[in-house]
């Protein structure tokens, strides 16, 4: 039995060690050296790289951008996704077509979606500005992606478009798990559609919503590709995320020590937030199991 | 989003297979020089990366490689023509994995110094001595501690590329020589309903070039050479450069959305806007005509409407108004490359190859026998300016290396967004330079 477990777990474990644990160890190692990216590691600097990352205004701003994206993603996508999921859960004409339309952006490759939006958002020659000017409106003077005060919100709008589909599909799946009898009972008691959603559907959708929010949070913290394509972190560092910061420091400036320190900080931030979320929010969903055990005893 | 164990296992498998392929390739390469040195006819493969990824440059280099192969039986040259930014990314990755191509492009300055320090680049001072002597002063940017590590094949200067037709339309008859003239011209162009200047500030370096140019006009040659060596930027002329640049930005001559405009990718990039007649001018390097050709459907760029003038003078500047900001590309040979690679690089700098290089308007030849064959009038004018310059200052970001140069470019880009003062640029550069010391 032991051998069997070992046999089935070993390949996955090896791959995990090689592709997850080993890079983390290497990143920690690089982060205490000053290193240009080639040649031997010789210039040991201790925690200096960490200090310089944490004192760097660009990085602290990037951290705040990540937090902004986490908050906005949940605040916008949760009600919107829920509304669409509830709507699509009713039998209606064109249901499957609508589901597909909402889910397509999520399936589209991030890079392709990014390039398409980059072109759509071009100032003056882009489709969005053209449409706006046709109806007498105009976007920001320097373009949606070129105006520092607007760029982050433009990125958030594109992210919402891209990831709303995931929320909707998860919520729809969760809705299938709500027992039909509850609806029947409610309708016998004369509950309105609105009451049914508020008192039955949404509470029973809780575990799904909490899991989605967790995925959304971790995704927002590690956000890189969409920002990189749309703005590269600019203009004036107004859309930098922790991930774009570390890529810029590493690949563009060859400060691999600083980049590694930033990546370790990002890892710790994500880990701490994940653990806190697990402890305070997700625990409620997995509470049943231990309680049963106790009861048996 | 989740990677399944199956996918991971597949990735390991592919990774291992690739590793195997790489290492076997490497070992055959290492074995070659010894046999060829003893006169053996063992086959040698030389890898060569360049960035002439559009015609006529791409076919010309393919032909050059074929000619060399024909003259040197047993030598095979594997040519990879790549888009410039792609090439830089791949080069970095190749250096990290110790898998650099035998012949690659080196921009000199701090970058080269880092490569030399890490033992990646071959010292060719002796093996290419005759060519080095022939090229003369241009080689200086590719020397570290008196040794030469690469042969520059094209050295150009940065200036304003402009659309002659649009200048005419705005009623401008003569190109500006001072910034006062240029400001007047910007007003004329705006009055004609045309956007005056495009700048790829999204990529930062095209924006940074403005500050470099002003520093070149404001600072004396001595101050600049000292700054490159000592990495000290306390001279007040650096602040003045920032003030000059602030004045330009305040005049709002740039294309809409310039903060997010890329330098040269796609028709809405800074070069694309100039190539398609959407703006009147752009400050760029000598590669601009080639880039513009690649960005237009007819592959002609601005064609006959291409004009060039050098960066105008500023009043009261300490710098020589004829001094130019520039730089170029050189062929470097990686440490592990076979001896034939050095021979090929020497061939690339020969009268014959540089003549063809000039005739195809691929750049500004460093071999003086080839200068006369540059047929493009705009490039020929640029070449005259280069040769008449008392000195050509290497782009600061290249000269200082990517860490200091990157910090400097970032801060200059912030100034374009109205978020950095002249003092901030100096401070950020100094801070990054101090971290290097």
Question: Do B284 and B136 reside in the same domain of the chain?
Answer: no
CA distance A240 to chain B (A): 12
CA distances in angstroms from A118 to A102, A128, A161, listed in the order given: 20, 11, 14
Residues in chain A: 297
- Chain A contact present for B86, CB below 8 A: no
**Confidence grade of residue B23 (pLDDT, cut at 50, 70, 90):** very low
- Chain B contact present for A253, CB below 8 A: yes
Alpha helices in B196-319 (DSSP H): 205-218, 221-230, 236-250, 270-275, 288-295
The neighbour count for residue A44, using CB atoms within 10 Å, is 10
Question: Do B294 and B201 reside in the same domain of the chain?
Answer: yes
Question: Do B148 and B161 reside in the same domain of the chain?
Answer: no
CA distance B218 to chain A (A): 26
SS3 B235: coil
Please name the residues in contact with B326: beta carbons below 8 A apart, sequence gap of 6 or more.
Answer: B155, B156, B157, B158, B285, B286, B386, B392, B393, B394, B395
CA distance A167 to chain B (A): 14
d(CA B194, CA B276): 13
Please name the residues in contact with B78: beta carbons below 8 A apart, sequence gap of 6 or more.
Answer: B45, B46, B47, B48
Residues in B touching A18 (Cβ below 8 Å):
12
Task: Tell me whether residues A36 and B202 touch, CB distance under 8 A.
Answer: no
Total beta-carbon pairs less than 8 A apart between chain A and chain B: 103
Among B88, B206, B252, B257, which would you mutate to test the A interface (most chain A Cβ atoms within 10 Å of its Cβ)? B257
CA atoms within 13 A on the CB side of A233: 23
Task: Tell me whether residues A125 and B268 touch, CB distance under 8 A.
Answer: yes
Indicate the angle between helix axes A57-89 and A148-176, nearest 10 degrees.
Answer: 40
Question: Do B161 and B151 reside in the same domain of the chain?
Answer: no
Domain of B207 in residue numbering reads as 157-326+392-436
pLDDT at B376: 81
- Chain B contact present for A22, CB below 8 A: no
Nearest chain B Cα to A11, which residue? B9
- Chain A contact present for B417, CB below 8 A: yes
Residues in B touching A147 (Cβ below 8 Å):
259
Question: Do B171 and B193 reside in the same domain of the chain?
Answer: yes
Tens-place pLDDT, residues B305-346: 999 999 999 999 999 999 999 888 899 999 989 988 999 999
pLDDT at B297: 86
CA distances in angstroms from B94 to A36, A258, B87, B104, B194, listed in the order given: 14, 21, 10, 11, 44
Total count of domains within chain B: 2
Among B254, B259, B265, B400, which would you mutate to test the A interface (most chain A Cβ atoms within 10 Å of its Cβ)? B259
d(CA B39, CA B74): 11
Residue B384 in domain: yes
- Which regions of chain A are under pLDDT 70? 286-297
Among A235, A247, A256, which would you mutate to test the B interface (most chain B Cβ atoms within 10 Å of its Cβ)? A235
Q: Between B9 and A95, name the one with better pLDDT.
A: A95
CA distances in angstroms from B361 to A93, A121, B356, B375, listed in the order given: 63, 35, 9, 7
Does B19 score more than 60 pLDDT? no
Task: Tell me whether residues B260 and A235 touch, CB distance under 8 A.
Answer: yes
Task: Tell me whether residues B92 and A37 touch, CB distance under 8 A.
Answer: yes
Q: Sort residue B226 into left (φ over 0), alpha (ψ -120 to 50) or beta.
A: alpha
CA atoms within 13 A on the CB side of B56: 11
Residues in A touching B410 (Cβ below 8 Å):
58, 237
Provide the total of helices (H) and of strands (E) in chain B, helices listed first: 18, 12
d(CA A85, CA A205): 11
| Closest by Cβ to A36, choosing from B114, B406, B419 | B114
Task: Tell me whether residues A147 and B259 touch, CB distance under 8 A.
Answer: yes
Q: What are chain A's domains?
A: 56-253 (1.10.3720.10)
Question: Do B81 and B123 reside in the same domain of the chain?
Answer: yes
Is A56 within 8 Å of A64 (Cβ atoms)?
no
Does the pTM surpass 0.90? The reply is no
- Chain A contact present for B129, CB below 8 A: no
Residues in B touching A252 (Cβ below 8 Å):
402, 406
Look up the CATH number of the domain holding residue B300: 3.40.190.10
Task: Tell me whether residues B435 and A52 touch, CB distance under 8 A.
Answer: yes
Question: Do B110 and B211 reside in the same domain of the chain?
Answer: no
Task: Tell me whether residues A236 and B414 touch, CB distance under 8 A.
Answer: yes
Nearest chain A Cα to B254, which residue? A142
User: Does residue B56 have a cis peptide bond before it, meaning omega lies within 30 degrees of 0?
Assistant: yes
Question: Do B361 and B403 reside in the same domain of the chain?
Answer: no
Does B32 score more than 50 pLDDT? no
Q: Between B244 and B366, name the one with better pLDDT.
A: B244
| Closest by Cβ to A143, choosing from B119, B256, B413 | B256
Q: Between B212 and A122, name the one with better pLDDT.
A: B212
β-strand pairing of B324-333 with B103-106: antiparallel
- Chain A contact present for B96, CB below 8 A: yes
Residue B69 in domain: yes
Does B36 score more than 50 pLDDT? no
| Rg, C-alpha atoms of chain B | 23
**Confidence grade of residue B184 (pLDDT, cut at 50, 70, 90):** very high
What does the CA dihedral A182, A188, A193, A194 come to, rounded to 10 degrees? -80
Question: Do B173 and B144 reside in the same domain of the chain?
Answer: no
pLDDT at B401: 85
Residue B4 in domain: no
d(CA A292, CA B160): 77
- Compute the C-alpha angle B306/B309/B310, nearest 5°: 145
pLDDT at A288: 54
Provide the total of helices (H) and of strands (E) in chain A, helices listed first: 17, 2
| Closest by Cβ to A143, choosing from B1, B260, B402 | B260
d(CA A115, CA A126): 12
- Chain A contact present for B249, CB below 8 A: no
Residue B20 in domain: no
Question: Do B335 and B321 reside in the same domain of the chain?
Answer: no
The ipTM of this complex is 0.82
Closest CA to A155 of A238, A78, A218: A238
Residue B74 exposed, middle or buried by CB count within 10 Å (0-12, 13-18, 19+): middle
Does B31 score more than 80 pLDDT? no
Q: Between A283 and B419, name the one with better pLDDT.
A: B419
Task: Tell me whether residues B114 and A19 touch, CB distance under 8 A.
Answer: no
Percentage of residues of chain B with pLDDT beyond 70: 90
Question: Do B378 and B402 reside in the same domain of the chain?
Answer: no
Does B363 score more than 90 pLDDT? no
Question: Do B235 and B300 reside in the same domain of the chain?
Answer: yes
d(CA B347, CA A87): 71
**Confidence grade of residue B14 (pLDDT, cut at 50, 70, 90):** very low
CA distances in angstroms from A64 to A57, A70, A144, A239, B417, listed in the order given: 11, 10, 20, 10, 20
- Chain B contact present for A254, CB below 8 A: yes
Residue B202 in domain: yes
- Chain B contact present for A235, CB below 8 A: yes
């Amino acid at each position: 039995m032991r051998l069997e477990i070992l046999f089935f777990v070993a390949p996955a474990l090896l791959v995990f060690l090689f592709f997850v644990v080993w890079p983390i160890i290497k990143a920690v190692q690089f982060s205490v050296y000053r290193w240009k990216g080639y040649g031997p590691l010789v210039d040991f600097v201790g925690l200096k790289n960490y200090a310089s990352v944490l004192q760097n205004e660009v990085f602290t701003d990037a951290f705040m951008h990540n937090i902004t994206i986490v908050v906005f993603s949940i605040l916008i996508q949760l009600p919107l996704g829920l509304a669409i999921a509830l709507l699509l859960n009713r039998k209606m004409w064109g249901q499957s077509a609508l589901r597909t339309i909402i889910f397509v952006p999520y399936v589209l490759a991030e890079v392709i979606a990014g390039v398409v939006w980059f072109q759509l958002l071009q100032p003056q020659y882009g489709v969005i500005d053209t449409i706006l000017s046709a109806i007498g409106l105009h976007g920001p003077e320097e373009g949606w992606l070129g105006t520092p005060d607007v760029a982050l919100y433009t990125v958030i709008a594109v992210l919402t478009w891209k990831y709303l589909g995931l929320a909707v599909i998860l919520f729809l799946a969760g809705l299938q798990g709500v027992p039909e009898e509850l609806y029947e009972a409610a309708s016998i008691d004369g509950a309105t559609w609105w009451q049914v959603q508020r008192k039955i559907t949404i509470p029973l959708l809780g575990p799904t919503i909490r899991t989605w929010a967790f995925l959304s949070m971790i995704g927002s913290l590690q956000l890189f590709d969409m920002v990189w394509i749309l703005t590269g972190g600019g203009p004036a560092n107004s859309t930098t995320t922790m991930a774009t910061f570390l890529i810029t420091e590493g690949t563009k400036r060859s400060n691999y020590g600083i980049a590694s320190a930033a990546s370790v900080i990002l890892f710790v931030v994500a880990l701490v937030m994940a653990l806190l979320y697990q402890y305070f929010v997700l625990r409620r969903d997995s509470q049943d199991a231990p309680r049963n055990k106790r009861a048996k005893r | 989003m989740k990677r399944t164990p199956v996918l991971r296992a597949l990735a390991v498998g592919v990774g291992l297979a690739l590793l195997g392929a790489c290492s076997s390739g490497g070992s055959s390469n290492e074995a070659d020089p010894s046999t060829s040195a003893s006169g053996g006819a063992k086959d040698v493969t030389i890898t060569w990366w360049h960035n002439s990824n559009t015609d006529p440059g791409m076919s010309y280099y393919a032909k050059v490689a074929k000619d060399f192969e024909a003259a040197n039986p047993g030598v095979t040259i594997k040519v990879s023509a790549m888009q410039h930014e792609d090439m830089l990314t791949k080069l970095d990755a190749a250096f990290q994995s110790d898998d650099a191509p035998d012949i690659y492009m080196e921009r000199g300055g701090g970058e080269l110094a880092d490569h030399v320090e890490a033992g990646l680049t071959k010292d060719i001072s002796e093996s290419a001595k005759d060519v080095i002597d022939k090229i003369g002063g241009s080689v200086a940017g590719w020397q570290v501690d008196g040794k030469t590590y690469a042969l520059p094949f094209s050295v150009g200067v940065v200036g304003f590329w402009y659309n002659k037709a649009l200048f005419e339309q705005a009623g401008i008859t003569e190109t500006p020589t001072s910034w006062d003239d240029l400001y007047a011209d910007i007003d004329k162009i705006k009055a004609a309903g045309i956007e005056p200047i495009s700048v790829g500030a999204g990529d930062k370096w095209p924006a940074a070039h403005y500050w470099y140019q002003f520093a070149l006009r404001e600072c004396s040659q001595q101050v600049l050479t000292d700054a490159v060596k000592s990495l000290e930027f306390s001279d007040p002329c650096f602040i003045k450069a920032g003030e000059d640049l602030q004045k330009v930005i305040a005049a709002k001559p740039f294309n809409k959305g310039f903060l997010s405009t890329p330098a040269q990718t796609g028709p809405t990039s800074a070069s694309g806007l100039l190539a398609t007649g959407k703006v009147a001018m752009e400050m760029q390097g000598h590669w601009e005509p080639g880039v513009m050709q690649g960005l237009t459907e007819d592959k002609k760029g601005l064609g006959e409407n291409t004009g060039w003038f050098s960066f105008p003078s500023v009043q009261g500047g300490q710098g020589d108004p004829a001094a130019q900001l520039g730089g170029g590309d050189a062929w470097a040979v990686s440490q592990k490359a076979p001896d034939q690679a050095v021979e090929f690089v020497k061939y690339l700098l020969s009268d014959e190859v540089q003549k063809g290089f000039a005739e195809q308007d691929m750049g500004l030849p460093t071999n003086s026998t080839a200068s006369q064959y540059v047929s493009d009038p705009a490039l020929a004018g640029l070449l005259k300016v280069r040769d008449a310059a008392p000195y050509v200052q290497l782009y600061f970001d290249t000269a200082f290396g990517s860490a200091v140069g990157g910090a400097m470019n970032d801060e200059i880009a912030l100034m374009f967004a109205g978020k950095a003062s002249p003092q901030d640029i100096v401070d950020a550069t100094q801070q990054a330079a101090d971290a290097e010391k």
